[in-house]
Structures are given as C-alpha cells and as structure tokens.
Chain A
Amino acid sequence: MSTEAIEHRFGPYGGQYVPETLMPALAELEAAWEQARRDPQFTDELDRLLGDYAGRPTPLYLAARVSDVVGHPVYLKREDLMHTGSHKLNNALGQCLLARRMGKRRVIAETGAGQHGVAAATACALLDLECVVYMGSEDIRRQAPNVQRMDLLGATVHTVETGARTLKEAVSAAIRDWVANVEDSHYAIGSAVGPAPYPALVRDLQRVIGDEARAQILEREGRLPERVIACVGGGSNSIGMFRAFYEDAEVALVGVEAAGEGLDSTRHGAPLTAGGRPGVLHGSLSAVLQDEDGQILEAHSISAGLDYPGAGPEHAFLRDSGRARYVAVTDRDALDAFARLSRLEGIVPALEPAHALHWALANPHAELDLICLSGRGDKDLAQVREARGDDGPAPR
C-alpha cells in the first residue's frame, strides 16, 4: 500500500470545496487512512478479502481473436471476473473496512450503473454495516438488475428524482445525507472524485488493478505494453490502472470518455476530452461540463457509469501534464464494441469498458495493448436491447 503523502491537490486540481460541516470528517478520514494503510492488521485483512472473497488477482487474458483483428496482442485485465462483476469492489471493501475502523456503522454510497452500489452493499453485508445507496430514477430504470441485487444484499436504495435523475444527482444526494449524518456515517464515494482525500484514497485502493496487470504482462510478454487503455467516468478503474505505469515513460496512457451522441452535440460525458475551463463539482476542482455562468451541465452517455459531467482531479492533471491522453467514443461505437467482444471472445463487457475496447479496435496501430475490462455487461442487456430497438439478439 502506498505510504506517500495523501494529495490534496494534483497541480491546480482537487481541493475540498465542501460545506464546513464535512471538513472535520474529511480530516478524520484522512487521518484514519494514513494510519490504516501502514497498519499490517488492516492491510492484511484487506488483502485477504480481496483474495479469498473477491477473487484477486484477476486474470490477464490474451484476447486472441481481438488480437487477430487489430494485428497485435491485446490483453484484457479481467476486472469483470471480480466478485460482484466489476472493479468497484476493490474500493468498496477498502472503504467499508475503514468505516468500521472509524467506528462508523452506517455507510452511504451513490451509484450510477449500480456497480458501486452493489459493491458497497456487498461489503456492508460482509462487515455487518448499514448501507444506504442513492441512485437516480433514470438509472434505476436502466439498471434494474442491480437494484434488485442491492435490495437482496440488505441495502436501502433511495430514488433520486432531481435534475437528470442520474449519477451527478445521486452524488449530490449522498453528500447531503452525509452532511446530516456525518457523526455516525461514512460516505463511501465510488470513484476517484470528490473532496480530498477521496481522489487519492480511491486511487490507492484501485491501484491493485494496475500493479497486478503490470506484473502479469511483464511475466507473459517480457515487456511493458505500448498502450494502457481504460474508460473514464469519474475515473477510478483508469486511475488505478494508470498509477502503476506513471514512471514507465514508454507506456502511453489512454483514458476513454463517453462521447455520447457526439462531442459536437451537448449530449456527452467527456469533460477531459472537450477541454474548457475547470470547475468545482462535488467538492473538487477538475474538468467539468459547465456553462458560462458555472452551472454544471447534464452529461449524457448510454452507459450509466460514464454519464457524469466531471472527472477525477488527478486525470485533469495527467491530461495537462501530458502523461495521459484522453479521447472519447460515442454511444453507437460503444454498442458496436459491446457486440463485437461478445461474439469474438465470448465475453459480454459492461458498456463502460466497451468504450475503451472500441477505441483500441479503431486505433490499431500499436504493438501491445493492455485494456482494463472494468466490468461485465449482464446489467446492460436491457439497455442495449432498448438502444437497438429490438427484442432480441440481432441476427448475424
């Protein structure tokens, strides 16, 4: 586990733009994390759960037929094989262990695609904590199976009806709950966003993805990948993947955002790619979709997990410094990659990493790719069918 200083700022980005009520809780969380990450009792328990319970290390899979299509080896980091079906459990287990350590018996979470909500509900069931999940009604509609899973796991799901009724509003509702219940509740944020120390905390809990993948590909190929590619909503799987490769200057880091209906439309979720003035959303200064007056705009993506107008502050810093580049893939192209990976490899990916897959397929000029397959696509079947306007699988 990292023992470097817990960053409050990444270049100009980050910070703690929150109501005063939460400031002592953020300090308490930072102090708890500072201690816990150096405490073998904590790290051993987390490692044991990540192994025996969650299924780590996840495999690194050489996707042979995808490799044939692009003309070079493509490896998939199989976070879809984690317990609960996505990388989100890495963070949820760590934060819920931390909540228990701080004596907070109630955990608040937000969710977009439902994957973080399910992961938080799972970790809370395991650790005997109360779990409250905020989810926009639009996401509840398009991710119904995950809502049923959270219910089964004993979590209370609160429907959020404000704004576009998606992830942004769910985060806001979760923060408001935390303001009211800060003394007995921990807010387990699901992505590398929010006020310090969350972006650093979530990255450190997710960097296991990149650390494993880096060692695995070195063992298999005897070299580092030319490109590391991951989707970016808030950016937790991508920052966890990228972090392990910061010092490897020869490795290109590519973050793939949601271009939705196109970057030239207003309906996308690509604040890093679109550029523009940074802004404050959910407690940190970062890339954000906003209007002239600083009102935060609604994002759009077919994938609920990328349907967010902000991005983690460390990504904005990586973009500005040139260490990572950010690109965007449309709904239509992500749907295409969703279908292609299913047919080529027998792996149904979540719509979120389908964005990363599409970019790799469409930009084949490389020698060796590593893609984070951050989650599986079972949750997306109804959404995909609706988008295709049919009732069943398309004939070949």
Chain B
Amino acid sequence: MTGIEQIAAAFAGHGKRAALMPYLMAGFPDLDSSRRIGLAAADAGADLLELGVPFSDPLADGPMIHMAGTRALEAGVHTAEVLALARELAPAAPLVLMCYANPILARGVERFADELAAAGASGLIVPDLPLEEAPAVAGACEDRGLALVPLVAPTTPDDRLEAIGRRARGFLYAVSLLGTTGERHGLADSFASVVARAAAHTDVPVAVGFGIATGAHAVEAARAGADGVIVGSRLIRAAAEAHDRGEDPAPSVGAVVEELAAALATEPSR
C-alpha cells in the first residue's frame, strides 16, 4: 500500500465520528519519550500520527509547540534521528511528518522524500510551502506514493481553495482560525465555514487543526463536517507537565488521546 492509500484507509476505517490525529514533537521532551508518546497515542485510539520536526523558526506555531521544538533542538535532535523515529512509529499508525521547508531543502528534496518513504511514512505537511512553492516537493512525494498534504486557511478565497483542493493528496488540512497553533477557549467563528468550504473544493478528506484541544471541540469539528481532527498543543502541554513533575509523559498524553477518542466515539459512525 502506498502512503496515500494508507491515509485513505485510515480515514475510511476509523469507526469514529472523525479520524483522530494527535501531533507530537519529535525529540520532546527527549527522543525516547517522544517514541513512547507516539506509541501510547496510537494505543489510545489515534487513527493517524502527525510527527513534528523541530525547527528553529516555526512561523506557524504558537508558544507551546515552539517551546517543544526549541527544547528538542537544544537537546541535539537532528533530522536523521527524526526520520529514524518515524520509522519506529509508522507501523503503529499511518504517519504524516510535519516539517518546515528549510530542513527539507537543506537535505535535498529528493533525498528527503526517499528517506521519508524508506521510513514507512505516509505523508508530509509543510506549513510554509504554499501552492506556488510546492511543485518540487509535490512531485517528489507523488513519485513515491507519499501524500503532500496542503493547508487552507479562513483567508483562502474560493478560487485558490479550488486549486489547492485539486492538488491535495491524502487529506486537506483546514486551519480553523487566523493565528498560530495553540489551545483556545473555544473554536473560532471562522471554523465551521472553513471546514465546509474546504470540503466543497476537494475530493480528499478534510482534517481540521489549530486550536482543537478538547473532546467537545473535536465533536464540534466532526459535526461541522470535518473528516479528521488534529490535536497538538494540548498534547504537548500534557507531555511538558508530566515531564516537569518528573513523570513519564507517555501515559499522560495517552490519557488525553483516550479522552478525545472517547468523545469522538459518542457519535455514531457515518
């Protein structure tokens, strides 16, 4: 099965109201803990895993994910180790790598795609690679059956949404709000409309992320028509708090993922 097919199967067969996609930062709080966090998330009901590659200048991320990436880099985590981690986690759930453009360019687009495919990953999200800059990476992914997952935002006009939606592979990532990643008290007003507009302009599933932190948010996202929900900062916070208490972060993250999965299971499967 190609990566694109693995993602399609995960969206088709999760048995929940929407697929649950936890985000974890590679190397936070350390490499081995992040491996166990990924496995715990998969055990707790994750349908796909999003693995973040730490980057020095994460423009799309709020303070929580920025902090996690900074700490991973300070601990000396390199791209090669992140790819090795992807290889360990991919058997547990279809894995999508979230990586800013420069680490990909630095490694070389073709080499990066080769190594990503060899690790058994299914796809790639590049938050600072809009449609206009994407062709080389999109081609390299396509050649290897990997999904290059594009993002759309509340500001994206319909004609542009259509162009992005047509090129989406795996799923389309709908950014729920104007802003960076991070927990919010409630979902933004823009949230339901961006999900609906995204769904109207693509044939692939739509997963929504940014600001989704609770089971109630996840259910609301599913009701709005999202095929998947992505939860990041909430899980990073769970890991950070456990780590700071001197505890193993994996069970703490697993418990939050379990809550989210349970919330999504309260609705009948479509």
Task: Return the contact of B178 from the options A17, A168, A182, A277 (Cβ within 8 A).
Answer: A182
Q: Which of A41-49, A68-76, A106-114, A293-301 contacts its partner?
A: A293-301
Contact: B180 with A179, CB < 8 Å?
Answer: yes
Q: A19-B127, A280-B128, A296-B57 are in contact. Are A180 and B105 (CB under 8 A)?
A: no
| B interface residues, how many (CB within 8 angstroms) | 40
28 contacts between A and B (CB under 8 A): A15-B133, A16-B133, A17-B101, A17-B129, A18-B128, A19-B175, A20-B152, A20-B164, A21-B154, A21-B175, A22-B155, A23-B132, A162-B66, A176-B179, A179-B179, A180-B178, A182-B155, A183-B155, A279-B102, A282-B59, A283-B128, A293-B79, A293-B106, A294-B79, A294-B104, A295-B73, A295-B103, A297-B56
Q: Which of A172, A282, A293, A296 has the largest number of chain B CB atoms within 10 A?
A: A293
Assess whether A253 is interfacial by the CB under 8 Å rule: no
Contact: A176 with B180, CB < 8 Å?
Answer: yes
User: Looking at chain A, what size class is its interface with the partner chain?
Assistant: 35 or more
Chain A residues contacting B155 (CB-CB under 8 Å) are 20-25, 182-183
CA distance A16 to B156 in the complex (A): 15
Contact: A296 with B106, CB < 8 Å?
Answer: no
Q: Which residue of A lies closest to B79 (CB)?
A: A293
Contact with B along A156-168 (1 / 0, CB 8 A): 0000001100001
CA distance A292 to B105 in the complex (A): 11
Interface residues of A (CB under 8 A from B): 15-25, 162-163, 168, 172, 175-176, 179-183, 277, 279-283, 285, 290, 292-297
Assess whether B14 is interfacial by the CB under 8 Å rule: no
Q: A19-B59, A162-B70, A168-B57 are in contact. Are A293 and B78 (CB under 8 A)?
A: yes
Q: Which residue of A lies closest to B77 (CB)?
A: A293
The 5 closest A-B pairs by CB, nearest first: A294-B106, A180-B179, A21-B153, A294-B103, A294-B102
Q: Which residue of A lies closest to B151 (CB)?
A: A20
Q: A24-B155, A179-B179 are in contact. Are A19 and B57 (CB under 8 A)?
A: no
Assess whether B91 is interfacial by the CB under 8 Å rule: no
In whole Å, how far is A187's beta carbon from the nearest beta carbon of chain B? 12
In whole Å, how far is A341's beta carbon from the nearest beta carbon of chain B? 35
Contact: A183 with B101, CB < 8 Å?
Answer: no
Chain A residues contacting B103 (CB-CB under 8 Å) are 293-295
Contact: B175 with A24, CB < 8 Å?
Answer: no
In whole Å, how far is B138's beta carbon from the nearest beta carbon of chain A? 14
CA distance A309 to B58 in the complex (A): 15
Chain B residues contacting A297 (CB-CB under 8 Å) are 56
In whole Å, how far is B178's beta carbon from the nearest beta carbon of chain A? 6
Contact: B133 with A17, CB < 8 Å?
Answer: yes
CA distance A182 to B160 in the complex (A): 17
Assess whether B107 is interfacial by the CB under 8 Å rule: yes
Task: Return the contact of B128 from the options A19, A277, A290 (Cβ within 8 A).
Answer: A19
Q: Which of B56, B104, B175 has the largest number of chain A CB atoms within 10 A?
A: B56
Assess whether B60 is interfacial by the CB under 8 Å rule: yes
Contact: A19 with B60, CB < 8 Å?
Answer: yes
Chain B residues contacting A183 (CB-CB under 8 Å) are 155, 178
Interface residues of B (CB under 8 A from A): 55-57, 59-60, 62, 66, 70, 73, 78-79, 100-107, 127-133, 150-157, 160, 164, 175, 178-180
Contact: B59 with A23, CB < 8 Å?
Answer: no
Contact: B175 with A280, CB < 8 Å?
Answer: no
Contact: A18 with B130, CB < 8 Å?
Answer: yes
Q: Which residue of A lies closest to B164 (CB)?
A: A20
Chain A residues contacting B178 (CB-CB under 8 Å) are 21, 179-183
CA distance A182 to B60 in the complex (A): 13
Task: Return the contact of A280 from the options B105, B152, B160 (Cβ within 8 A).
Answer: B105
Chain A residues contacting B106 (CB-CB under 8 Å) are 277, 279, 290, 292-294
Q: Which residue of A lies closest to B69 (CB)?
A: A295
CA distance A280 to B127 in the complex (A): 13
Q: A172-B57, A179-B60, A279-B102 are in contact. Are A23 and B130 (CB under 8 A)?
A: yes
Chain B residues contacting A293 (CB-CB under 8 Å) are 78-79, 103, 106-107
Chain B residues contacting A168 (CB-CB under 8 Å) are 57
Q: Which residue of A lies closest to B80 (CB)?
A: A293
In whole Å, how far is A328's beta carbon from the nearest beta carbon of chain B? 22
Chain B residues contacting A285 (CB-CB under 8 Å) are 105
Chain B residues contacting A180 (CB-CB under 8 Å) are 178-180
In whole Å, how far is B89's beta carbon from the nearest beta carbon of chain A? 20
Q: Which residue of A lies closest to B99 (CB)?
A: A294
CA distance A293 to B154 in the complex (A): 32
Task: Return the contact of B151 from the options A15, A19, A162, A295 (Cβ within 8 A).
Answer: A19
